[in-house]
Amino acid sequence: MGVMAACGGSVEKRVPGIDPANFDLSVAPSEDFYEYATGGWQKAHPLKPEFARFGSFDVLRENNEIRIRDLFAALEGTTSAPGSVGQKIGDLYRLGLDSVRLNTERLEPLRQDLGTIAPSLGRADLSRLLAGMHRAVGSPFFTPFVDADMTDSSTGMLYLYQAGIGMGNRDYYLDAENEAIRTAYRAYIEKVFTMAGYGDPKAAVEAVMEIETRIAEASLSTVELRDPYASYNKVSVETLKADYPAIDWDVWFEVMKVPALTHVNASHPKVLSVANDVLSGDRTKLDYYLAFTMLDAAAGSLDDDMQMASFEFYGRTMSGQQEPRPRWKRALGVPNSTLGEAVGEMYVAKYFPPASKERMLRLVGDLQTALGQHIENLEWMSDETKAKALEKLATFTVKIGYPDKWKDYSTLTIDPALSYWHNIKRANAWHSDDTMSEAGRPVDRTKWHMTPQTVNAYYNPLSNEICFPAAILQPPFFNPDADDAVNYGAIGVVIGHEMTHGFDDMGRQFDKQGNLADWWTEADAAAFNKLADVLVAQYDAIEVQPGLMANGRFSLGENIADQGGLRVAHTALRNSLGGVEPAPIDGFTVDQRFYLAYATLWAQNIRDEEVARLTKVDEHSLGKWRVDGALKNIEAFYRAFDITGGAMYLPPEQRVVIW
């Protein structure tokens, strides 16, 4: 649901709201607005070998990583008390940086784990092994997590969700066009088994591919996953035990430290059935599959050979990266996520001015008012449904900057005497226990689902909340030095985008409390779907690279949110002007600056492999189409640039306005 946001600069220096150097004035705005607004930026930022994609928001992410590295470096100067978060962050970071030690230990840290796999294990011991993996290592067959029950959003529920395929998306296993990627994946599997000293790596490849392909066949597609009902299968624990008897669920619950439950969400029964079959089937094949899950999960935390094997497949083959990210960036990411809120607390103290929070609260209020006006003025929706929509809008919980209460990591131990991989497993287990303890309990609605130092934002339909972490409240999203047109066009659209998610194809199915409940009249739902279908067809017709079309159904929610965000933020800007037209800046009117600021967020260069991968796995449209695809439907954009024809132009009867 996040916006996967945009561009750079830092709060220490003044950043221009709009930089004309980013433009390509050789392209007419009516032909390709994205190129016009960002072509100069693209030329000035050729892709470095470590990147599959680099956009204006990656400039901000890069600056952010340097800030976090500075925070970690500051820990070095002080003596952190054993058991303090400073000690944990510092030791975990150093373990990741210590290539000499990693290359000396080689695969040794994983031996103990691989040794737990044995053909002699009975049902209970196999279930213990599986749960131990789910708790600390990876996601064989399915991934367990706790989130709000979709039909009773005040209560935490255990989800058993489809997973267990290394390539992460069923299409890579099943579609003919992905044969080359499958070949590279097989080579990767063979390589890691060879490095681990297995006698018959070719047999391992066959076993892993057979099992993962079975899981892929049983898995829902990305489009099917957009239907929340397709992943909601509430069953009693008794039914779970009866339906999937190959797993000793009592043992599994015990190892996973799940509190006593009456029901779980067995989200994807077909995948669980495959798990059941495989777990009670050929043991040699199963053992290869479990071993590969371990090798694959640990590869990034072991020696250079394993790290490079993983990079060659996931980085180079799948994304087109030419080099791995530098070691310090890879190492930094581990404490930055496992001790995320402790890092966030340091980050906010140093980098988040309280004034930003106040200004954001005002902006969110402005956007809420504007979206309310749009809902009231909709021609396709009845008054009855409008009243419900306005109620949902008024009930939004707004989170800005950082959580009111920080996560307590005092029971997580990081011990530098143990290996990097061992400590990562500990941290994984700690997080698993932390989330499992929420199953069957009242949901804590103050909890954050992103850390403050994340350059992104989200809407969560299960709690009807929007969240804007501290790190996104910087240029080019939020620029205290820029004029209002720029801030409404950037962070304003992001706010409107997240709000619109509450009313997109998925979000609209949840009520103001976050429960799956239909609050729409039948006619209004039909009208919504008719408009949505037009948008789907528009994006289905976009050729993202020769022979590859965008997936309009998969990206529908994000495209609705981009359009809604653009429309609502523009209304909010107009409201704020109070009828007074500001003088142009650098020759651009207030409306032109609004759309230029929006386009700047999506300035980026991207490799062909990454275009293909993201089209498959990322529900957001590619940067170019978040600009050109979205603006085609917006009358105010045409007026701002006086566009009456050209490749950007859609005649009024072909446009679609949802929110």
Residues at the site binding Zn ion, with contacts judged by CB under 5 A: 3, 558, 561
Closer Cβ to Zn ion, 403 or 496, answer by number:
496
Least distance (Å) between residue 14 CB and Zn ion: 29
Residue located via tokens 């429960």: 515
Residue 350 burial (CB count, 10 A): 11
C-beta of residue 86 within 8 angstroms of C-beta of residue 72: no
Q: Regarding beta strands 263-265 and 142-149, do their DSSP bridges make them parallel or antiparallel, or are they unpaired?
A: unpaired
Residue 466 forms beta bridges with which residues? 398, 459
CA distance 275 to 286: 10
- Quote the CA–CA distance of 14 and 509 in Å, as a whole number: 43
Q: Whole-number minimum distance, CB 542 to Zn ion, in Å?
A: 18
**With respect to Zn ion, which residue has the nearer C-beta, 501 or 593?**
501
Are the C-beta atoms of 68 and 332 separated by less than 8 Å?
yes
Q: From the CB of 565, what's the least distance to Zn ion, in Å? A: 9
Axis-axis angle for helices 623-631, 590-601 (nearest 10): 150
Among candidate residues 562, 591, 610, 619, the one labeled active-site is 562
If phi > 0 it is left, if psi is from -120 to 50 it is alpha, else beta; for residue 579 that is left
Q: How many CB atoms lie within 10 A of CB 48?
A: 12
Nearer to Zn ion, 487 or 559 (CB): 559
CB-based contacts of 264, cutoff 8 Å, min separation 6: 157, 158, 159, 160, 234, 235, 237, 240
Cis peptide before 476, with omega less than 30 degrees from 0?
yes
Burial class (CB in 10 A: 0-12, 13-18, 19+), 444: exposed
Q: How far is the CB of 119 from Zn ion (least distance, A)?
A: 46
- The nearest distance, CB 558 to Zn ion, in angstroms, is 5
d(CA 570, CA 602): 18
Looking at the Cβ atoms of 279 and 495, the one nearer to Zn ion is 495
How far apart, in whole angstroms, are the C-alpha atoms of residue 565 and residue 551? 21
> For the chain, how far is it from start to end, CA to CA, in angstroms?
17
CB of 286 to Zn ion, least distance (A): 39
Strand order in the sheet with 234-236: 142-149, 152-162, 263-265, 234-236
The reply to whether 190 belongs to the active site is no
Work out whether strand 142-149 and strand 152-162 pair parallel, antiparallel, or are unpaired: antiparallel
Block residue for tokens 């009231």: 376
CA 539 to chain centre: 21
CB of 468 to Zn ion, least distance (A): 12
Active-site residue flag, 562:
yes
- Considering the complex, what minimum distance in angstroms separates the CB of residue 209 from Zn ion? 34
> What is the C-alpha separation between 132 and 145, in angstroms, rounded?
14
When the beta carbons of 212 and 558 are compared against Zn ion, the nearer one is: 558
Q: Which of 147, 287, 498, 591 is catalytic?
A: 498
Least Å from the CB of residue 259 to Zn ion: 33
Taking the least distance from each CB to Zn ion, the nearer of 256 and 542 is: 542
Tokens of 209: 């591919």
Residue 606 has which token pair?
């991207």
Cβ proximity to Zn ion, 3 vs 482, nearer residue: 3
Looking at beta carbons only, is 3 or 389 nearer to Zn ion?
A: 3
Report the distance separating Cα 300 and Cα 306, nearest Å. 7
Q: Which helix (H) or strand (E) holds 549?
A: strand 548-549
Smallest CA-to-CA distance from 2 within 511, 551, 634, 618 is with: 618
- Compare residues 3 and 195 and give the one whose CB is closer to Zn ion: 3
The span from the CA of 36 to the CA of 254, in Å, is: 59
Catalytic residue positions, numbered: 498, 562
